[in-house]
Structure 1
Amino acid sequence: MDAVTFDGHGDTEVIGYDEVPDPEVGRDEVLVDVKAGALNHLDVWTRRGMPGLDLEMPHVPGSDGAGVVTEVGAAVTRFSAGDRVALSAGVSCGDCEFCRNGEYPLCASFHVIGEHVPGVHSEYAAIPADNLVPVPDHVDWETAAAAPLVFQTAWRMLNTRADVSPGESVLVLGASGGVGHAAVQIADHAGAEVYATASTEEKLRYAEELGADHVVNYEEADFADEIRAETGKRGVDVVVDHVGEATWDDSLQSLAKGGRLVTCGATTGGRPETHVQRVFWNQLDILGSTMATPGEVDDALEHVWDGTFDVRIRDVLPMSESARAHELLENREGFGKVVVRPDSELD
Structure 2
Amino acid sequence: MQAIVLRDREGPGGAAYGSFERPQPQRGDVLVRLRAASINRVDVYMRRSGAGITHTLPQIMGVDGAGEVAEIHDPQSPLRLGQRVVIYPALACGHCRYCLAGDQPLCLHVRYTGEHRHGTLAEYVSVPAANVLPIPDGMDFHTAACLPVAYLTAWRMLFGKAQLQAGETVVIIGIGGGVAIAALQLARMAGARAIVTSRHVEKLQHAIALGATAGINSQTEDVPRRVLELTDGYGAEVVIDSVGGPGWGASLKMAARGGRIVTCGATAGSQPGADLQRVFIRQLQIFGSTLGSQDEFRQLLNAVTQAGLQPVIDRVYPLSQAVAALDYLESGEQFGKVVIDIPLAN
Name the TM-score class by shorter chain. over 0.9
Match of 1:119 in 2: 119
Aligned residues: 346
**Residues 1:189 and 1:329: Cα distance change in structure 2 (over 3 Å):** same
Contact 1:10 1:48 in 2 (8 A): no
Shift in Å at residue 76 of structure 1? 4.5
Q: For residues 272 and 19 of structure 2, what CA distance do their matches in structure 1 show?
A: 41
**Residues 1:268 and 1:78: Cα distance change in structure 2 (over 3 Å):** farther
Moved more, 102-111 or 278-287: 102-111
Shift in Å at residue 305 of structure 1? 2.9
- Per-residue CA shift, 1:71-94, capped at 9, x if unaligned? 110434221111001111112222
TM-score, length basis structure 2: 0.94
1:254 aligns with 2:254: yes
Helix, strand or coil for the counterpart of 2:65? strand
Shift in Å at residue 311 of structure 1? 0.4
Shift in Å at residue 315 of structure 1? 0.5
Q: Which amino acid aligns with 1:125?
A: V
- Per-residue CA shift, 1:228-273, capped at 9, x if unaligned? 2222332111100111214211111111111111011112222222
Match of 1:231 in 2: 231
**Residues 1:345 and 1:24: Cα distance change in structure 2 (over 3 Å):** same
Give matches, 1:142-181, under 5 Å: 142-181=142-181
Q: For residues 140 and 190 of structure 1, what CA distance do their matches in structure 2 show?
A: 23
Give matches, 1:87-106, under 5 Å: 87-106=87-106
Shift in Å at residue 178 of structure 1? 0.6
Q: For residues 211 and 301 of structure 2, what CA distance do their matches in structure 1 show?
A: 18
Match of 1:7 in 2: 7
Contact 1:146 1:339 in 2 (8 A): yes
Moved more, 37-46 or 71-80: 71-80
Point out where structure 2 has 5 or more consecutive residues left out of the alignment: none
Contact 1:151 1:301 in 2 (8 A): no
Contact 2:61 2:115 in 1 (8 A): yes
Moved more, 35-44 or 66-75: 66-75
Q: For residues 246 and 330 of structure 2, what CA distance do their matches in structure 1 show?
A: 15
Contact 2:169 2:192 in 1 (8 A): yes
**Residues 1:328 and 1:102: Cα distance change in structure 2 (over 3 Å):** same
Helix, strand or coil for the counterpart of 1:147? helix
1:23 aligns with 2:17: no
Identity %: 38
Point out where structure 1 has 5 or more consecutive residues left out of the alignment: none
Match of 2:46 in 1: 46
Q: For residues 22 and 346 of structure 1, what CA distance do their matches in structure 2 show?
A: 14
Q: Which amino acid aligns with 1:95?
A: H
TM-score, length basis structure 1: 0.94
Match of 1:333 in 2: 333
Contact 2:169 2:194 in 1 (8 A): yes
Contact 1:240 1:261 in 2 (8 A): yes
Match of 1:77 in 2: 77
Helix, strand or coil for the counterpart of 1:71? strand
Q: Which amino acid aligns with 2:30?
A: V
Q: For residues 161 and 131 of structure 1, what CA distance do their matches in structure 2 show?
A: 23
Give matches, 1:134-145, under 5 Å: 134-145=134-145
Shift in Å at residue 301 of structure 1? 1.4
Q: Which amino acid aligns with 1:318?
A: P
Helix, strand or coil for the counterpart of 2:245? coil
Q: For residues 259 and 95 of structure 1, what CA distance do their matches in structure 2 show?
A: 35
Give matches, 1:253-332, under 5 Å: 253-332=253-332
Q: For residues 221 and 151 of structure 2, what CA distance do their matches in structure 1 show?
A: 28
